[in-house]
Structure formats: C-alpha cells, structure tokens
Amino acid sequence: MKNDIYEKLARHLDALPGGFPATESGVEMRILRRLFTPEEAALAVHLTLMPKKPEAIARRTGLSPEEVSARLEGMAQKGLIFRMEKGGKPALYGASQYVIGIWEYQVNNLDPELIEEMNQYIPTLMNLETWKKAPQLRTIPVGRSLTVQRDILPHEDAEALVRAQEKFLLAPCICRREHTMVGKGCGKPEETCLVFGIGADYYERNGIGRLIDLEEALEILKKADEAGLVLQPSNAKDVVNICCCCGCCCQVLKTIKRHPHPASVVSTPYVVAADPDTCEGCGTCVDRCQMEALTLKEDKVSLQADRCIGCGLCVTTCPSGSLSLVRKPKQAQQNVPKNMIMSLLHLKKVRHKLGAKRP
C-alpha cells in the first residue's frame, strides 16, 4: 500500500509541467520515500499548481480541515509543497514541481545520500529535447558586457529585472552547496540566488536565505560578474528569481555543457563575436567561459560559436576589447513567455507533444 501511494505521487509530479520521469533503477522513488512520509504523499496528490484553502483540499481527502491545515503547513515547512500568503489572509497551499521547486527547497536539508540519489537522477530528469523547446531558465548577459544599450529589451537586462521588484531575498545556491558537501566544491560564492515576490515570501517563511534591499541585490549582480557566474533568470519576462551559476556545479549548465552544441539548447538572445587580430593572447576569456566555447590558437582567441550561450563573462574581462556580444537573428531567438504561468503552460504543452509521460 505504501508503495502504491508513492507511485501515485510520482505520477502526480510527472503530470506537472516540470515532470518526474521514471528510471530503470527506481532512484526517483527512493527520493520520494526519503522526502515524503506516506501520509504526506497521500495528501500531496490532491494539490494542484493553483494554491487553494485547506478547507477546499480537505473536501477531497475525507480528513478534517483542521488536520489538513496542520499537515499542509508542516509539508510547506519541509519544502514539499508551495505556500502562498498575501495581505494577512489565511495561507493557500499548492503543489510544487520537483524541479524547479521541491529540490531547490531542500537546500538546508541536504545530506550525502540525498545528493548521491539526485546525481543519479539528473541524467533522466534533465531532458534536453524538452529544455531546448521550453527551458525553465534562460541566459542573460552580465551588465558590463553590453555597451550598446538601445537594443536591450527589459527582460534581457539583469539590473532592470531587479529594479522592477519590490521584495528581495538572497538564498544559497543548492548546486554549489551540494558539491561542497561531497568534496567537489569550486570555491565560488554560495550565497548568490536572488528570489523575488511570492517566492521570497515562501523562502523567508521557511528560513531559506535572508531578506536584502535593492542595493545589495544589485551588488550580487556585480559579484556574479567578478566570480564568473552565469546569470539565469526564470524563463519569463516577469521573473521570480535570478540564479548565478557556474559550469562546474550548476546541474543545468553541467548538462548543457555535455551537449555538443550548447547554443542550440539555451534560450539566449546573444552570441559572442571575436576579433583574433586584436587579441593579446592573455587567455582570461578561456578561463571565464563556462561552455568551453573559447580557446587560444597560436596565442589568438578562437570561438566555437555553437557552444556560446551569450552570458558575456568573457567580454567583461577582455583587456583588448577583442570580444563583444551581438544579438542573434530574430529567427534564432526563443520567445520568452510573459509570466511564469505562461511559461509553465508552454512547458506542459511541449512535454505532451514529446510524449513525456510516466509509464
């Protein structure tokens, strides 16, 4: 019976836009049993992405509203479901995708066993055919890499995205934390994830990260450039977060990096242009590139454009100005949904078309 409810939960999570695909090893089921009690799993399957009052959820379960309310709050505090509170009104509760969602909420609950199981699951979970058509994150350039401001759209400008927010929270990067815990850390800053709006409300209530002001949020963008971190906001014009990622720890970038042509997978409006004639051969850009798109040949920069994800990290530290970001042709740019609801609906549609359904 217990296994039946976990199978039901797995199918429930797989029906959400982000998916929860099956593996031959069953590692994803071990993850669910580690995170959810049977009682929590049985309640979670009654939740949808649209948050609802405990009373409405209770009617589906046969449990009392009081018992359901207490269980839901406990599950929200464990990062298993989403909680939304607004204007002093009673909390609403909704389902969370496994990624991006439940996994990221476990940043303060990691242990080596969970990390190992997640690493086993990543190759199945991260389907690049789905990601290519409906990514959950996109890549935008670090600010100093763009010198011509007139053609930058607001959703491509990190500083503009941050300034449009009213509430800011700074959280630890789960990817760098998990790598550090198993002795594979890169030494880059861990406290770098920016979360906004209702996402910041949830993180604050769960004790994940700390509230900051606009000035510190903008400073994080500068520190990301200095540390060589790629800016990856949520895939919408109205963002809910900006991740600052490294190619050595970020599970998204690591997966994309293994693709022979990373540029074909990411949602990015820019690509680097290189001028070998003015290159001084310092090699700084080679070290900064997270996708191994740049090399030195006879002490001159050489670009493999189909590996460039347009992050701009190489541009900001090029002493000779030999590197610049240029906008891709319109037909080579992915459409960016207006908000996260539209983004998730698109993701669900793409997974359905690709036949991504749990057996």
Q: Other CB atoms closer than 10 Å to residue 168's CB: what's the count?
A: 22
- Distance, in Å, from the CA atom of 243 to the CA atom of 252, rounded to the nearest integer, reads 11
Residue 349 domain-assigned?
no
Per-residue pLDDT tens over the stretch 70-116: 999 999 999 999 999 887 788 999 999 999 999 999 999 999 999 99
Query: What pLDDT score does 316 carry?
Result: 93
Q: What is the pLDDT of residues 25-54, one digit of tens each?
A: 999 999 999 999 999 999 999 999 999 999
Say if 338 falls within a structural domain: no
Proportion of the chain in helix, strand, coil states, percent, rounded to 5: 45, 15, 40
Q: Could you tell me the two tokens for 315?
A: 């541009």
Rounded to whole angstroms, the Cα distance separating 196 from 200 reads 5
Residue 359: predicted pLDDT:
76
pLDDT higher than threshold 70 for residue 241: yes
Predicted local distance difference test score (pLDDT) of residue 15: 97
Domain contains 167: yes
**Which one-letter amino acid corresponds to residue 232?**
Q
243-254 per-position pLDDT tens digit: 999 999 999 999
Give the number of domains in the chain. 3
Q: Give the pLDDT mean for 301-316.
A: 96
Question: Two tokens at 171?
Answer: 């959280």
What's the domain range around 174? 129-256
Confidence of residue 149 (pLDDT cuts 50, 70, 90): low
Give the Cα separation of 229 and 317 in Å (integer).
Answer: 13
Pairing of strands 270-274, 300-303: unpaired
Using an 8 Å Cβ cutoff, are 200 and 302 in contact? Answer: no
User: 242 and 138 in one domain?
Assistant: yes
248 domain-assigned: yes
Could you give the CA distance from residue 232 to residue 248 in angstroms, rounded to a whole number?
A: 15
